[in-house]
Amino acid sequence: MKSSSISDQILRLVKDRAYRPLELPALAAHLEVPDEQYDDFRAQAEALHGRGKIIITDVQTVLPPEMRGHAIGIYRANQRGFGFVVPTSLTTHGDLYIPVGQQKNAITGDTVLARVLKKGKRGDRTVYEGRIVRILERGRSQFVGALQKKRQRWFIVPEGKESHGPILIPDAKAKNAVEGMQVVVEITQYPSAKSEALGTIVEVLGRHGEPDVDTLSMIRHHDLPQDFSKRCKNQARRVATAYDPESACEGRIDLSGETIITIDPDNAKDFDDAISLRQSKGAWELGIHIADVSHFVKPGSALDDEAKERGNSVYFPGHVIPMLPETLSNGVCSLQEGVPRLVKSAFIRYDADGRVLDERVCNSVICSTRRLTYEQASLILDGRTGGFGRAVVNLVRKMDRLARVIQKRRLAEGMLVLDLPSVELILDERGAVVDVVPEDQSFSHTIIEMFMVEANEAVARLLTRAKAPHLRRIHPDPDQHSGETAAGILIGLGYDMDAHPGRFAIQQALKQVKGRPEALPVNLAVLRSMQRAEYSPRQIGHYALASECYTHFTSPIRRYPDLTIHRLLDRYIRGELTDEGHHNDVPSAHELTQLGTHLSHTERRAEAAERELRTVKVLRFLSNRVGDTLKGVITGVTDFGLFVQLDKYGIEGLVRREDLPDDWWTVLPESGCLVGEKTGQRYSIGDSAEVTIVRIDVPSRKLDLHLERRTSRTPRTPRKKAKTGNRPAAKPRRKSKSKKTRPRRRRTR
């Protein structure tokens, strides 16, 4: 295919009236561009973009030139009729407001094309709003909710935080469903300005509110896989039955006589990482041994196809949706105590200061000496060693010392560590929450985390030196707007901070707030300022870890990206990858980009489902505590109220504006506070609060609170200047250059 031919084909397709915007890889696939010509295709597309013939957005979506002044994004509806388009790429206007009547039949979750209009000025900022001109892709067609009946009409109101109107069900009795049952509804007619949405029941899940029904609802709501295909399960059974440890161990380094341990949560069933450690002559040799799933799951097999489609395991409270059948994930792949297991071992040598001297990988076989829980490892480190062998005790203590040295080095390099306390849900035999307790935060968790990060980085360096294209775990630097927002909150809380803080300034600020009431909102602000980590072949590093070269290698039982790295390491170990960069039969950059996009999606889907089900379970638990007064901290201020996170339950609720004292309330977003002009009362992010639970709406995930008492933060004295820039260095305080918005006033009665 000639370059001119590629350009002509791109232009013909993009100018076609039926064209729907595609990302570059999808456009190449549509035009049937061979993999070996993808780089030329991309170059020609970028050349057309440079000449103004086409538009390529920040997320590589290709648009015709007449679509300048438009934005592509995900539509989010509001119950009051208006909505917002959340752009898929960085824009100057941020989320785009869509007035009532301008949504063009879009519903929450749809990917839309919106025209961007300037609507004047507010202070020194330009105000934009949008008009949806095209629905590019429907977000979903199936919704979950409780079957209701009103005035002889059957309907559901879809569950979730997204705002959806009711879906009418003309044939509700077709599935023998009764009022109060949780059902899955397929939309047969999308809503319009003249008619409501219509749907039909495709599945009855059970009685609304039951713990197992909540879990099943979340699986359907997020379109998660559930049962494995019969072909996949049969293949897993055959692979496990055919496994012969003696023959499988041939050609591998035998480490079965080494002291090697696993440290995992108490309820873990699959163990995919184990640790060994030697120390001699002032140097350490750390061994990270990872279950060799690639030995059992071959490319192109039914097992591989299903694992790739799932992308990862999903961990719900009391329930797991595994990436691989349990015959493998909890069986022959799992590094169980006292059983020979196949692994890929990464060995890293360190000097006394935790600096890497060299690294190597090999195929080996281990026999785990002891399976420890995090609690047991903490007991050993606390000196309570009864019941643990001397070799295991010595190993855990050495691991503790090395992990602290590595952590110190990584912090000096700029690694960011967020302190976001999490809670553990205590469930009864039905799966309902009976208590909520703080999650274990002992250093034993950090030991394993440090070692896994080091192993992932070491493997990424080896593959990079070999110039082997592979899926990296990338974390882009924060965009300027988000960084300014986080810095503004810190400045408003009294911390000396540059308007564009570097990682060391953020690191220092996180250190200063530790243990203070404002620690939670500051950590949340920093988290929200960051972009999401994703899978991609691009070498742009990992911002939060301060790593130039990073991948995922350590969890192949539960993450498909790690499995792809293991397969590539097999070739590296066999000497088939050289630093000349000429590699046959390895995925192209185009293929890796597509795979990375898919796996990033399945990861985000799993995280959203896990987070939402935890919220549902906690809300159901709190439903019996309406009227209780609890302690919390103000984590957000808006013109419609205050967000307060409950200390014990780790869940956020809303104190509505109309429930605050009668006043003219002014929102000061740059300083994170709400000020009453008449009384001078001030509610600030980081203030401690006592709140009463007023109302809980589990289907819409809403927790309404009433503010009983608020305690202002103790002023910080003396102030300490945060370090700024990209290296540790003190700088004088500068005035924030971020744009200020005019405070919005609301009258509350």
Residue 21 structure tokens: 């915007």
0.75 cut: is pTM over it?
yes
Position 421 scores a pLDDT of: 86
582 has pLDDT over 60: no
242 has pLDDT over 80: yes
* Largest CA-CA distance found in the chain, in angstroms, rounded: 83
**Alpha-carbon separation of residue 105 from 77, 133, 165 (angstroms):** 11, 10, 12
SS3 category, 287: strand
The secondary element (H helix, E strand) that includes residue 573 is: helix 560-573
33-59: burial string, b at 16+ Cβ within 10 Å, e else: beeebbeebbebbeebbeeebbbbbee
Position 208 scores a pLDDT of: 95
344 has pLDDT over 50: yes
pLDDT per residue as tens digits for the range 128-167 = 889 998 887 888 889 999 999 998 899 999 998 877 789 9
480 band by pLDDT with thresholds 50, 70 and 90: low
Higher pLDDT, 301 or 43: 301
What would the DSSP string read from start to end of 473-539?
EEBPPPPHHHHHHHHHHHHHTT-B--SS--HHHHHHHHHHHTTSTTHHHHHHHHHHHSPPPEEES--
Position 746 scores a pLDDT of: 32
Sequence-separated (6 or more) residues with CB below 8 Å from residue 666: 674, 675, 676, 677, 743, 744, 745
CA distance 208 to 218: 12
CB-count exposure of residue 697 (10 Å: 0-12, 13-18, 19+) = exposed
Residue 413 structure tokens: 């390099």
Higher pLDDT, 15 or 294: 294
pLDDT per residue as tens digits for the range 175-190 = 888 999 999 999 999 8
219 band by pLDDT with thresholds 50, 70 and 90: very high
Q: What is the DSSP letter of 101?
A: T
Position 124 scores a pLDDT of: 62
Q: What is the rounded average pLDDT of the residues 57-72?
A: 73
pLDDT per residue as tens digits for the range 695-735 = 999 999 999 999 998 876 655 543 444 444 444 433 333 33
CA distance 328 to 232: 11
Task: In the chain, count H helices and then E strands.
Answer: 16, 36
CA distance 181 to 204: 7
Sequence-separated (6 or more) residues with CB below 8 Å from residue 511: none
Q: Which domains does the chain have, with CATH numbers?
A: 3-66 (1.10.10), 69-137 (2.40.50.140), 142-208 (2.40.50.640), 622-748 (2.40.50.140)
19 has pLDDT over 90: no
